Amino acid sequence: MAVGVSAVALTLPEAPLGGSVSAGAGAVGCLAISLAGLLVAAVSPVEGAAPVMAARLFAVACGLLAFQYAVVDAVLLALSTYLVWSGDRLFARYQFPGALLLIVGAVLPGPAGTVLLAAGIVIRMAAFPAHAWFPRFVDRTPVGVVVAYQAAPVVLLEPSTVVLTVIGAITALTAAVFAAASDDGRRSLAYLLIATNGLVIAGASWLVGTLATAGLAMTVGALAARRESLSLHEGGDFAATPRLAVAYLVFGLSLAGFPLLAGFAEGHHLPHAVATPIGIVVVIALSVTGIAVMRGFLGLFTRRRAANGERDLTPLENYGVVVAMAVLVVVGLAPGLLTWV
């Protein structure tokens, strides 16, 4: 389905969007979303409705790229919110008003529309202070559905405002601190996803963010399927799950802008593309993100032997993970590939 929408994206003319993010729109954007979908398909359990729901959300995400009109994109985002809602009141309290703000903001011209769009984006991407719904969403929702919901390129609607850039930088730093302080792997994942959203709002590539967060989330999901607890105090056995551990490290360090990985170029370009005070906040946020990832790695994969013969990645899981990691390494070595639209 995503491949079909990618074909449509190649044939349609560019349409004006409210956002400053045009690089990556179209077929390349759908490719990144499709790779995230590959990870979900390879790592998610086959049972249940989660894979079907994730497939629908990925199709909606590609639709945002194929039909680049602000009103249509806002309606598609509202559709994805409706699809993913499972009755949770906290989710509804944030996401449905946020979806309405995006639709009204896309229709309304002038500064009023810009303000509404900005507010809708802050809510949809769980930026501070509208983040309270997200950790519970990650904790209660299948990881594959979380990845698919996150894959929607909301920033294509983002108006170019200094206020949003500041909010994004503050969100990235604050969420990274929460992630580094968390003692639970899944809660740490939630804040790492929020931190990445903040960097994307501030101007980082959503293409890299989509693939790296998908890989990290599915790695944590695979680990959760093998353990009763993801407490960082209990530790793990690297020798029993080396591929799972390396995948967690590679995807996580991509978010932190580690050299030779896809996030490195963005991590060094972004501080120079914004005002100096914001750039300083971004640099600190990336550093703390790296600390959070390393703390998660050490807490989940070291310090104890697996008592019950904990499984490493299966061949199917390993296939999806290796493809995604290879793309992140290739883009890290040749960051100019991100400009192919």
Q: Is 3's pLDDT higher than 60?
A: no
Q: Is 54's pLDDT higher than 60?
A: yes
d(CA 68, CA 325): 29
- Specify the pLDDT at position 341: 42
Model pLDDT for residues 135-173, shown as the tens digit of each residue: 999 999 999 999 999 988 888 887 878 899 999 999 999
Q: Is 257's pLDDT higher than 90?
A: no
Model pLDDT for residues 21-36, shown as the tens digit of each residue: 444 456 677 788 888 8
- Specify the pLDDT at position 249: 94
- Specify the pLDDT at position 206: 87
CA distances from 48 to 51, 73, 138 (A): 7, 29, 17
- Specify the pLDDT at position 308: 62
Q: How far is CA 227 from the centre of its chain?
A: 24
Instruction: Indicate the pLDDT class of residue 46, thresholds 50, 70 and 90.
Output: low
d(CA 324, CA 108): 39
Closest CA to 19 of 161, 148, 159, 143: 159
Average pLDDT of the chain is 84
Q: Is 6's pLDDT higher than 50?
A: no
- Specify the pLDDT at position 38: 87
- Specify the pLDDT at position 285: 94
**Residue 340 Ramachandran class (φ > 0 left, ψ -120 to 50 alpha, else beta):** beta
Amino acid at 148: A
Q: Is 293's pLDDT higher than 90?
A: yes
Instruction: Indicate the pLDDT class of residue 19, thresholds 50, 70 and 90.
Output: very low
List the beta bridge partners of residue 236. 303
SS (H, E, C) 99-120: HHHHHHHHHCCHHHHHHHHHHH
Angle of helix 315-333 relative to helix 206-224, nearest 10 degrees?
150
- Locate tokens 């604050």: which residue? 174
Average pLDDT of the segment spanning 309-325: 87
Closest CA to 187 of 93, 295, 323, 312: 295
- Specify the pLDDT at position 24: 43
